């Protein structure tokens, strides 16, 4: 089975051809310009490669309602050129194959659930902490939808007393997760990008507390069997033990399950697929599109 996969990000588009077991046969990356410039490049990548279907994990918000006339579109994104772009149908029409479609983070979550750190879990949360913060959710083995889809970056957090910028930097929301803890928020708060802050900089303790608040909140709402934290900011390995410790402090013994009563080393983890979670998930979406 030869499948096409697209991880459609706001900065770059990763295309791949691969197999249902996650093997990548070839891959190419394109900058995200406008739909008029970029979509033809992506379609040319897949054309002639005999893919049986294409799976797309896209930046959003996206329309995942199968009954909607705009199903498969990017909707109200702040990337204005991409607003209301019917991305799934553009590929279906151009390539003549079925197209699977979901959010980029639901795709990554699906990849991790089937082939990564979440193998054996029927539910999990995948969070990317980078330019933005997004969450993908697997429940009963499938990506979760609802009225829309998870927009985890915009949960409101309790400000930490030692935060010099407790309102954060989101243009929509005072004190939301993305505004407080994304890569750009780190840079705005401390005047330098995260990668230029030493591992002992107080930035990381504060960052860990905000991410731990998020973990505690999703444990009492979505109740995932595993929390997988990926994205550029999570390359700072020193964050993981801090996040586990603070999550435990926030929960304060209220939730008593084997997953969270210990040190949570197997509960709050990094992606098993590393930076390939998204493109692997897109392959799995392609496979499902053939059903």
> Which chain residues interact with its own copies by CB under 8 A?
61, 75-76, 123, 135, 139-140, 144-159, 172-173, 175, 213, 216-225, 250-257, 259-260
CB of 92 to its own copies, least distance (A): 24
First to last CA, the chain: 13
Burial of 27 (0-12, 13-18, 19+ CB in 10 A): middle
In degrees and rounded to multiples of 5, residue 186 shows phi and psi of: -55, -45
Tell how strand 142-143 and strand 133-139 pair up: antiparallel
Which C-beta is closer to its own copies: that of 30 or that of 71?
Answer: 71
Q: Could you please report the per-residue DSSP string of 7-68?
A: EE-SSEEEEEEE-TTS-EEEEEEEE---HHHHHHHHHHHHTTS--S-EEEEE-SSB---TTS
CB of 169 to its own copies, least distance (A): 14
CB of 165 to its own copies, least distance (A): 15
Burial of 258 (0-12, 13-18, 19+ CB in 10 A): exposed
Which C-beta is closer to its own copies: that of 2 or that of 121?
Answer: 121
Which C-beta is closer to its own copies: that of 213 or that of 236?
Answer: 213
CB of 47 to its own copies, least distance (A): 34
How are strands ordered across the β-sheet holding 12-18?
24-31, 12-18, 3-8, 54-58, 99-103
Token pair, residue 164, equals 């010099």
Which C-beta is closer to its own copies: that of 94 or that of 175?
Answer: 175
Which C-beta is closer to its own copies: that of 44 or that of 158?
Answer: 158
DSSP-derived 3-state class of residue 140 = coil
Which C-beta is closer to its own copies: that of 175 or that of 184?
Answer: 175
Alpha-carbon gap, residue 119 to 107, rounded angstroms = 15
CB of 259 to its own copies, least distance (A): 5
Beta carbons of 107 and 7 less than 8 angstroms apart: yes
Which C-beta is closer to its own copies: that of 45 or that of 246?
Answer: 246
């Amino acid at each position: 089975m030869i499948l096409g996969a697209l991880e459609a990000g706001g900065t770059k588009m990763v295309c791949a051809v691969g197999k249902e077991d996650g093997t990548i046969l070839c891959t190419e990356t394109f900058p995200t310009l406008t739909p008029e410039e970029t979509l033809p490049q992506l379609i040319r990548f897949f054309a002639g490669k005999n893919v049986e279907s294409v799976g797309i994990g896209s930046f959003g918000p996206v329309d995942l309602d199968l009954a909607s006339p705009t199903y498969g579109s990017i909707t109200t994104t702040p990337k204005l050129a991409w607003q209301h772009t019917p991305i799934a149908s553009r590929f279906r029409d151009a390539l003549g194959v079925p197209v699977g479609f979901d959010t980029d983070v639901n795709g990554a979550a699906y990849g991790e659930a089937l082939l990564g750190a979440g193998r054996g879990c029927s539910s999990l949360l995948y969070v990317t902490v980078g330019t933005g913060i997004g969450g993908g959710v697997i429940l009963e083995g499938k990506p979760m939808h609802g009225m829309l889809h998870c927009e985890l970056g915009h949960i409101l957090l309790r400000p930490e007393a030692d935060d010099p910028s407790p309102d954060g930097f989101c243009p929509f929301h005072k004190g939301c997760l993305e505004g407080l803890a994304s890569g750009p928020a780190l840079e705005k708060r401390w005047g330098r990008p995260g990668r230029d802050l030493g591992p002992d900089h107080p930035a990381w303790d504060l960052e860990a507390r905000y991410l731990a608040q998020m973990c505690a909140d999703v444990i009492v709402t979505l109740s995932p069997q595993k929390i997988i934290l990926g994205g550029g900011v999570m390359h700072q390995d020193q964050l993981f033990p801090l996040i586990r410790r603070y999550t435990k402090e926030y929960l304060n013994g209220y939730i008593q399950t084997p997953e969270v009563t210990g040190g949570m080393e197997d509960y709050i983890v990094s992606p098993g697929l590393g930076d390939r979670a998204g493109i692997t998930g897109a392959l799995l979406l392609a496979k499902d599109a053939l059903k």
